[in-house]
Amino acid sequence: MDVIYDQLMKLKAAVMQMLWPEDIESFPGWKVLLARTLQVTFAVVRDFLDGQLTLRAMSLVYTTLLSLVPLLALTFSVLKGFGVHNQLEPVLLNTMSALGDKGIEIARQIVSFVENIKVGVLGSLGLGMLIFTVVSLLYKIEKSFNYTWHITQPRPMGQRFSEYLSVVLVGPLLIFSALGMTASLMSSTIIQRLSEIPVLGWFVATIGNLVPFVLVIIAFTFVYIFMPNTKVRVGPALIGGAVAGIAWEASGWVFGSFVVNSANYTAVYSGFAILIMFMIWLFVSWLVLLLGSSIAFYCQHPEHLGSRRGQLELSAQVTEKLSLLVMFFIGRHYYRNEKGWHLDDLARWLGVPLNVLEVVLSKLHDRQLILSTSEASAPYVPAHDMETLQVKQILDAVRAGNEVSDMIAWRLPLEPVVEGIVQGADEAVDRAMHQQTLKQMVLAGIEGEAAESGKVDPEL
């Protein structure tokens, strides 16, 4: 057994060396791209095998079954006001095409349920419950996407209602308008005449076949940008959307082949076979969406590629250094009247994982050293005048933690020798700081940059 274990450890070390070579900076561009692709693939597979994405996809299946009809009812009422509600059934049929004839039956039943709901006669309480159900569905989806993006802070309640409802009310109108314009363009006389030309006809047919893929990729990209409560760049979201869109179309083809050959399931489950197939397809769709979100996350935050969620723990020394760096960069931007740091931008600048930085920011925020209306979306600024905010306060903030509440549960014995050492260490830190303030630290850093570049900062 020891020999097998040693061989496995050697194989693991070889794989890690191949994925994370030490001299990757010297590689040509295509090799760096290949190495990064393998790293992202490894990280996504690792997250999938961890099981949390699967559990969240299952949870979203249950939530979708409860909230799908209210969501479509609200969408249907908006589309009906603009006279384009008849396009809802074709979109559902296309979405559930992987279920074959069973998908057509499910789509028609859902449309029948939606048409029977009269939003105008629900009353204020019924309409409120309808909106609450829709917002709850989107909140559950946001929590799942926040998990893939290592975000623990959801949107505030007011922001949740305003942004969710704006997407639910305006988004379908834009989607169906785009679908209508695409259909009109493809059926126009000019396109029809071009399709009769041999070479151009093949080109037009190819574009027509690619349009559904492009629309799915655009829709997935929008979801990856909007749903997580953080700033998502278009590039990583587009990469995740492209991979997830292609995977979703491919899984639909595979699932459709499976449904065609699923006569045994119909014989076993009888009338429940349609519901079971629908639930499986929902699970596959949500899992593909979450995996695409994970790809977008790792493309934007490659610093997370080498460690599992919650695996990295910083030492006290690194935590203190990180807290000083955080306050230095926040203070420097504030002093220069530059745009404040967001969580995402600051993590990328420092090269640290989001969850690690969020712990430090949370401690600084709880000790009222920095301010932010929303920890994931609003910029951070110093909470006090930088001329009075001492560097020692920053160290005390990350050293203190929650020991006040912890001491209620367990009380440490008071040993005079230990107490004397701790007090002496604190006094030594106080003497080393010389009551240095955050502004002095920021100015010293700016002077150092000016000296290295040979330029004099006019603000000094």
For 205, the enclosing helix (H) or strand (E) is helix 198-226
Contacts of residue 191, Cβ cutoff 8 Å, sequence gap at least 6: 185, 204
Q: Which two tokens stand for residue 389?
A: 């905010």
- Which residue's structure tokens are 């559990």? 55
Buried b (16+ CB within 10 A) or exposed e, 245-262: bbbbbebbeebeeebeeb
For the chain, the maximum distance between any two Cα atoms, rounded to a whole number of angstroms, is 94
Question: Would you say 356 and 342 are in contact if contact means Cβ atoms under 8 Å apart?
Answer: no
pLDDT in tens, 53-85: 899 999 888 888 888 777 777 776 666 665 555
Ordered structural domains, the chain, with CATH? 2-49 (no CATH), 51-304 (no CATH), 316-453 (1.10.10.10)
Residues 35, 209: Cα–Cα separation, whole Å: 32
309 phi, psi to nearest 5 deg? -65, 125
Which of 238, 254, 246, 255 lies closest to 288 in space, CA to CA?
246
Q: Which two tokens stand for residue 83?
A: 């006279």
The pLDDT of residue 407 is: 47
Contacts of residue 256, Cβ cutoff 8 Å, sequence gap at least 6: 97, 98, 99, 100
Question: Would you say 456 and 448 are in contact if contact means Cβ atoms under 8 Å apart?
Answer: no
Question: Would you say 145 and 228 are in contact if contact means Cβ atoms under 8 Å apart?
Answer: yes
The pLDDT of residue 375 is: 44
For 233, the enclosing helix (H) or strand (E) is none
Residues 376, 391: Cα–Cα separation, whole Å: 25
Q: Which two tokens stand for residue 404?
A: 């006040």
Question: DSSP code of 371?
Answer: E
The pLDDT of residue 406 is: 47
The pLDDT of residue 353 is: 78
With left for phi above 0 and alpha for psi between -120 and 50, is residue 83 left, alpha or beta?
left
Buried b (16+ CB within 10 A) or exposed e, 157-169: eeebbebbeebbe
Task: Write the burial class of residue 144 (CB in 10 Å: 0-12 exposed, 13-18 middle, 19+ buried).
Answer: buried
Question: Would you say 176 and 90 are in contact if contact means Cβ atoms under 8 Å apart?
Answer: no
Residues 252, 224: Cα–Cα separation, whole Å: 20
Q: Within 149-197, where are the H helices?
A: 157-186, 189-196
Q: Within 301-411, where are the H helices?
A: 316-335, 343-350, 354-366, 391-400, 403-409
The pLDDT of residue 376 is: 47
Reduce the DSSP state of residue 370 to 3 states and report it: strand
The pLDDT of residue 290 is: 93
Number of residues that this document lists for the chain = 460
| Cβ atoms < 10 Å from Cβ of 460 | 8
pLDDT in tens, 28-46: 666 677 777 888 888 888 8
Which of 429, 356, 349, 354 lies closest to 391 in space, CA to CA?
429
Buried b (16+ CB within 10 A) or exposed e, 109-127: ebbeebeebebeeeeeeee
State the DSSP string of 81-121: HTT-GGGHHHHHHHHTGGGTHHHHHHHHHHHHHHHH--GGG
Q: Which two tokens stand for residue 135?
A: 């917002």
Residues of the chain short of pLDDT 50, as ranges, are 375-376, 405-409, 460
